[in-house]
């Protein structure tokens, strides 16, 4: 087999890679209404690897994200939100203000 054939096969598989990405959507209900906190969350989460889309809906305080299931860490995302006081883990958890609102 010649080199051009391998180049064509390589390009074919390279074109298929983006179609192998599986995106998942997650909605997160916030306990905050502070515009500064929302901006901090969006800016911080936007930098996470594997995130494709992020939007905040003021009407119902929901943050919607779409992410690549192979490259985005939902555990790290949830840890960031709970450690900084943006969401509660359960009804029994103590509600604390985010760092920017103290």
User: Environment class of residue 18 by beta-carbon count within 10 Å: exposed (0-12), middle (13-18) or buried (19+)?
Assistant: exposed
* pLDDT tens, residue by residue, 52-92: 899 988 888 888 999 988 888 888 888 888 787 777 665 55
Write down the pTM of the prediction. 0.64
What total number of domains does the chain contain?
1
The answer on pLDDT for 4 being more than 70 is no
Please indicate, yes or no, if residue 1 is contained in any of the structural domains.
no
Instruction: Name the band, by pLDDT with cuts 50, 70 and 90, for residue 30.
Output: confident
Mean pLDDT of the residues in the chain: 75
CATH number at residue 68: 3.30.70.100
The answer on pLDDT for 28 being more than 70 is yes
Give the pair of three-digit tokens for residue 95. Answer: 């509600």
Please indicate, yes or no, if residue 4 is contained in any of the structural domains.
no
What is the span of the domain harbouring residue 80? 19-89
Amino acid 102: pLDDT: 60
């Amino acid at each position: 087999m010649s080199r051009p054939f391998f180049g064509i096969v390589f390009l074919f598989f390279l074109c298929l890679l983006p179609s192998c990405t599986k995106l998942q959507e997650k909605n997160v209900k916030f306990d905050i209404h502070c515009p500064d906190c929302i901006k901090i969350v969006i800016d911080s989460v936007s930098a996470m690897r594997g995130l494709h889309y992020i939007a905040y809906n003021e009407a119902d305080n929901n943050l919607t994200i779409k992410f690549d299931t192979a490259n985005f860490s939902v555990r790290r995302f949830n840890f960031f939100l709970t450690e900084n006081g943006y969401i509660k883990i359960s009804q029994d958890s103590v509600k604390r203000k985010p760092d920017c609102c103290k």
